[in-house]
Amino acid sequence: MIEAGGKVIAVDPWSQGNYEGIPQADLVLITDIHGDHLDPPAIAKLRKSGTTLIAPPAAAAQLPDAQVMKNGDVKTWDRWTIEAVPMYNLKRGPAEGKFYHDKGRGNGYVLTYGGTRFYIAGDTEGIPEMRALKDITVAFVPMNLPYTMTAEEAADAVRAFHPKIVYPYHYRGTDVSVFAKALAGSGIEVRLRDWY
Does the residue 51 lie in any domain?
A: yes
pLDDT at 100: 95
Residue 125 has pLDDT above 90, yes or no: yes
Return the number of other C-beta atoms located less than 10 Å from residue 155's C-beta: 25
Amino acid at 19: Y
Q: Residue 29 falls within a domain, yes or no?
A: yes
Flag whether 27 is in a domain.
yes
Q: Is residue 20 over pLDDT 90? A: no
- Whether 151 is covered by a domain: the verdict is yes
Residue 11 in domain: yes
pLDDT at position 17: 82
Domain-embedded: residue 195: no
Query: Of all helices (H) and strands (E), which one includes residue 133?
Result: none
Strands ordered across the beta sheet of 80-87? 74-77, 80-87, 106-113, 116-120, 138-141, 165-168, 189-190
Neighbours of 96 (CB within 10 A): 5
**pTM of the full predicted structure?**
0.95
Q: How far apart are CA 190 and CA 116, in angstroms?
A: 17
The domain that holds 117 is classified in CATH as 3.60.15.10
Which pairing describes strands 138-141 and 116-120: parallel, antiparallel, or unpaired?
parallel
Q: Mean per-residue pLDDT for 100-121?
A: 97
Kindly state whether residue 48 falls inside one of the protein's structural domains.
yes
Mean pLDDT of all residues in 33-41 = 91
Give the pLDDT score at 155.
Answer: 98
Q: Which residues pair with 75 in a beta bridge?
A: 82
pLDDT at 195 over 80: no
196 domain-assigned: no
Number of structural domains (the chain) is 1
Q: Which domain does 59 fall in, by range?
A: 2-190
